[in-house]
Amino acid sequence: MDELRNVEYLPEPNDRSIVSAIDPAVVGHQDGYRSQVTGWAPRIAMPMVRHRRRFPIGNAVALAVLISVGMFLWQSQLLVIQLPLPDSEWAYDATNIREMQEDGLTGDGIRVCMVDTGLDAEHEAFAGSDIVFHDLVGNSATPKEYGAIAHGTLMAGILVADAHQLGAAPNVTLGMVAALSDDGMGENTGDESVVGDAIRWCQFQFQADIISLSLGGAPSMSMDREGNSASATRQATDSGIYVIAAAGNDGGVDDDGDVSSPGNVPRAISVGAVTKDGTVWENSSRGSQTLANGDQRQSPHLKPEVVAPGHQIISTGQSGTWYSSSGTSDSTVFVTGALSLILEANPHLRASVQENGNCIDAVKQALADSSQPLLDGKVHDDRWGYGSLDTIAWAEEVGKITSCG
């Protein structure tokens, strides 16, 4: 066919027998043309065994009696012992999300759209959730999880779970677009063009207030035009829709020197990860303050903007399970949840037909002013941004915004 004469064929990274037709006019087309969930190492959350101190040998007889009685009750089904599952309450407390919830804020009326691997809506934690599902992987009319160990389900649970552990904003209306899937080798990946289409669905069909992207790809400095997901993100943010995106998980010696795309779009909020002790997670990506054209980024759009809990986070898994995962994927959802509560309290800052992105600039300035620096006296750092997420302080700064003009 004539229209295919000038294309190049690029082998898929995980199956060299499959090729994709590529327009060679796109300089650097071979780099970063796929998106993936932004790093994680999920483990099933096992019940917590509480260890007790050693007892004197003299108590052995009494212990034997107790064991005998306990075995009798167990066999008679008169006694059932359930060990508690671990949770991530520390993460909700450290970000002051729980304190915001104590004021009655739940995300009610806010529309949040996630682009991920779908979700398992049969999990008990989603029983009362308002979920709108859109499938760009298959053609399912009902929610479906396409990911390796249910990445989308994990992310949704951090936001809207209402069993065992309360999500950050359980009463939002959640749009979930399945755009990534298991590639057959245990990785969740998807075409950049599909991710871009998913972001546009969030904007135009779902009419999201916030788009949460726990995914990313490596931007190519050699490309003469941005990828589809970055273009869609720019379109959304310029229309006043907040986009929260993962910074990436290539920190340390493998760091490529910039946050993942589309989190590198100026008005997007790029999120790094911290551990329970408040230090930057070792794999959280470093940001670059130089744009592809050589210009310098301007505050409050320095990358990443903020860090939030992203290490060993407990959340919902497939088939009613609970899993632990680590990554800037997780930390992204905590910022999404915090912003959901803030927009519920300040509905005038949501996107409108007159919006041109100025409110995003104001809210991001409030985020920069309210985040807690990890080093005294330093305004911004390439690893931890303006600082750690503090939802209460962010809300107080946002409350000072009288006009976005």
Would you list the DSSP string of 205-261? IS--SEEEE-EEBPPPTT-SS--HHHHHHHHHHTTT-EEEEE--S--GGG--SSPPB
Structure tokens at 278: 């408040």
Structure tokens at 139: 């053609």
pLDDT attached to residue 94: 97
As a whole number, mean pLDDT of residues 262-277 equals: 96
As a whole number, mean pLDDT of residues 177-187 equals: 90
What's the N-to-C CA distance of the chain in angstroms? 52
Least confident interval from 29-43, 139-153, 158-172 = 29-43
pLDDT attached to residue 183: 86
Listed ranges 40-49, 210-219, 269-278; the one with the highest mean pLDDT: 269-278
Nearest to 130 by CA among 172, 184, 188, 83: 172
Least confident interval from 50-59, 145-154, 329-338, 348-357 = 50-59
pLDDT tens digit string along 364-384?
Answer: 999 999 999 999 888 999 999
CB atoms near residue 63 (< 10 Å): 10
Nearest to 261 by CA among 52, 31, 91: 31
pLDDT attached to residue 254: 81
In contact, 327 and 246? CB cutoff 8 Å = yes
pLDDT attached to residue 149: 82
SS3 404: coil
pLDDT tens digit string along 76-133?
Answer: 544 444 567 899 999 999 999 999 999 999 999 999 999 999 999 999 999 999 999 9
Calculate the average pLDDT of the chain. 84
In contact, 389 and 99? CB cutoff 8 Å = no
pLDDT tens digit string along 25-84?
Answer: 443 433 444 566 655 556 666 654 433 344 344 454 544 555 454 444 445 544 444 567
As a whole number, mean pLDDT of residues 133-154 equals: 95
SS3 330: helix
Would you list the DSSP string of 151-180? HHHHHHHHHH-EESEE-SSTTSEEEEEE--
Residue appearing with tokens 């057959």: 184
Helix 358-370 and helix 391-398, axial crossing angle in degrees, nearest 10? 130
Rounded to 5 degrees, what are φ and ψ at 381?
A: -130, 145
> Which residue would you say has higher pLDDT here, 57 or 179?
179
In contact, 397 and 370? CB cutoff 8 Å = yes
Least confident interval from 27-31, 303-307, 353-357 = 27-31
Residue appearing with tokens 């066999």: 75
pLDDT tens digit string along 188-208?
Answer: 888 889 999 999 999 999 999
In contact, 267 and 273? CB cutoff 8 Å = no
Confidence label for 236 from pLDDT (cuts 50, 70 and 90): very high
SS3 316: strand
Helix 328-345 and helix 391-398, axial crossing angle in degrees, nearest 10? 40
pLDDT attached to residue 125: 97
Nearest to 39 by CA among 337, 384, 313: 313
Confidence label for 281 from pLDDT (cuts 50, 70 and 90): very high
Confidence label for 256 from pLDDT (cuts 50, 70 and 90): confident
Tell me whether residue 346 is exposed, middle or buried, using C-beta atoms within 10 angstroms of its C-beta: 0 to 12, 13 to 18, 19 or more.
middle
Task: For the domain covering 31-44+84-398, report its CATH number.
Answer: 3.40.50.200
As a whole number, mean pLDDT of residues 298-304 equals: 97
User: CA dihedral defined by 110, 111, 112, 116, rounded to 10 degrees?
Assistant: 160
